Chains A and B, each alone.
Chain A
Amino acid sequence: MHPAPSVIFFTAFSGLGFGLLAFLGLGMPGLNGWLAFTFYFIAYAFAVGGLLASVAHLANPKNAIKSFSQWRSSWLSREGVLAVVTLIVTAIYAIGRIFFDTSMPALGAVGSALSILTVFSTSMIYTQLKTVPRWNSPTTPFMFVAYSLAGGALLAGQVTLALFTLALYLLIVAAIAQLLNWRVGDQRMLTSETNLGTATGLGNVGVVRQYEPPHSGKNYLLNEMVYVVGRKHARKVRRISFVAAFLIPVLALLAFRDAPHIGGMLAIIFHILGVIGSRWLYFAEARHVVANFYGK
């Protein structure tokens, strides 16, 4: 699949933003006034920035408002509705914290649950696609939510040591989710029943090979769904993104245990770079079954 920067930015930063909102809603850290404002500013910048990036991906954004209508059947629509509801609920909670020094724990908890649900629905947009065997597995939502919570804990964790330890554990969980996703994804590709034989129905006759493509130039399908560059360097990008997203942050947290601001900052910077690398690969490495028709 074509790794469009808008979609990479969208999944990476909305995940981080909603992850942070999930912790803030639980009062982790339980701040008021200007300090709370700073945290909410970061959370909203990431979450809303990510959502705006996804709008940049649309070819006809004037109809974007209509995407809130099909929540009964479409995961993309559900994601949009949940994102807006979450942002409104958490905003009410945040206003209480920032301006009135009050906490509404029940509302905060609802906001946290909605934040996680939003990230889950983002992941379901990809998980639901049978046409991309690598994505079509339960490890996809597990990975998206685990990344979101690990990143959220890191972003939320600068002031309390307890959250620091939590961030450490969540990073390890997310690392396991990532490894699982790669492993299961590789297996899905190997065990996929779909090939040029089933795609054309000619597999019963013999071995099928494309000898002439249907068009001499490129087209939307090739640009969007038959992206082959990413597969070449997949192993290297996996190693680099894993080191950046998990290994360095974990080591930074452990090494700077007495200076959590420095350790936290290092961990956050490398984790975000790692998330972007991993998301790039998530798209670039995925093979859509339509590639079969083109023998690619």
Chain B
Amino acid sequence: MTTLPSQTDTKLGLVIDLDTCVGCHACVVSCKGWNTQNYGAPLSDKDAYGTPEGTFLNRVHSYEVQPDQGPAQTVHFPKSCLHCEDAPCVTVCPTGASYKRTEDGIVLVNEDDCMGCGLCAWACPYGARELDLMAGVMKKCTLCVDRIYNENLPEEDRVPACVRTCPSGARHFGDLGDPNSDVSKLVAERGGMDLMPELGTKPVNKYLPPRPKDTLDCGVALNPVAEEAKGFLGWLDNALEKM
């Protein structure tokens, strides 16, 4: 059924730290690797050695943010499925392929039922779903459901591939429904936020905003040390000016 569960036992999700992310795209690559070799249809590349175009479940945008005062900041912005509580992608699905799990809130696609109409991708505000053009089925982040419960893996590997691989510790995985979990505490402490809250999707994944920057006295450091050229260089400057 593509109706949403009224509540889920846990709310597994990611917390992404926009202050710490360095934009290395390691999470993008590890996600593509794991999800091509494991559950479901592989994430295809169209013309892999030519024009790069293919399916990814995780992408890193890079933004410049210009505050009212002070210099602009660079923010790297990883984006994947937010496993929304009120997921519009699930209810629009005509075949019953899209569903949200009652036990942990993970939003998944049953590829055996998907007819590739693409309506769920239209319904998602975050661009979290990409139709794989080779397989003809909708692909999305599974929160590495085939890792997190996988007892064949060492315990430290039972987290999503993107979290496991992040070299800067910018990605955290846990139960956001439990106010005492590490991720919930982190969200409370750092003012974790929802993306596009105005659309009412109630995302489970949270983003931690960049920490406020130091107010360095930039003006002094960047003042020119010599406004007017003097001596030989002054003469040269004048001579060249007159030519």
Contacts and interface: CB of A to CB of B under 8 A. Distances in A.
Interface of A: 1, 57-64, 66-70, 72-77, 80, 125, 128-132, 193-194, 196, 198-202, 204-221, 224-225, 288-290, 293-294
Nearest to B126: A290
Nearest to A133: B199
Contacts of B197: 198
Contact of A289 (B73, B79, B115, B125): B125
Contacts of B217: none
A210 B115 contact: no
23 contacts: A60-B136, A60-B137, A64-B115, A66-B95, A66-B113, A72-B1, A73-B91, A76-B93, A77-B95, A125-B92, A128-B123, A194-B199, A201-B195, A205-B73, A208-B64, A211-B62, A212-B62, A214-B60, A216-B52, A219-B53, A219-B56, A225-B127, A288-B122
A58 B115 contact: yes
Going nearest first, the 3 A-B pairs with the smallest beta carbon separation are A59-B116, A59-B136, A206-B67
Majority SS of interface residues in chain B?
loop
Contact of A215 (B59, B115, B119): B59
A224 B137 contact: no
Given A58-B116, A199-B196, A202-B65, A76 B130 contact: no
A74 B79 contact: no
B91 A74 contact: yes
A22 to B, nearest CB: 24
Interface string B122-142: 111111001101011100000
Nearest to A290: B127
B200 interface: yes
B188 interface: no
Contact of B88 (A68, A131, A200): A131
Contacts of B210: 202, 205
A69 to B, nearest CB: 5
Given A198-B198, A201-B207, A58 B64 contact: no
A60 B115 contact: yes
Contacts of B93: 70, 74, 76
Contact of A130 (B63, B77, B199): B199
Nearest to B112: A63
B59 A74 contact: no
A57 B18 CA distance: 38
A206 B68 contact: yes
Contacts of A77: 94-95
Given A58-B117, A201-B193, A210 B63 contact: yes
B121 A225 contact: yes
A251 B37 CA distance: 63
A72 B96 contact: no
Given A129-B123, A214-B61, A220-B121, A61 B92 contact: no
A220 B137 CA distance: 12
A228 B169 CA distance: 37
B2 interface: yes
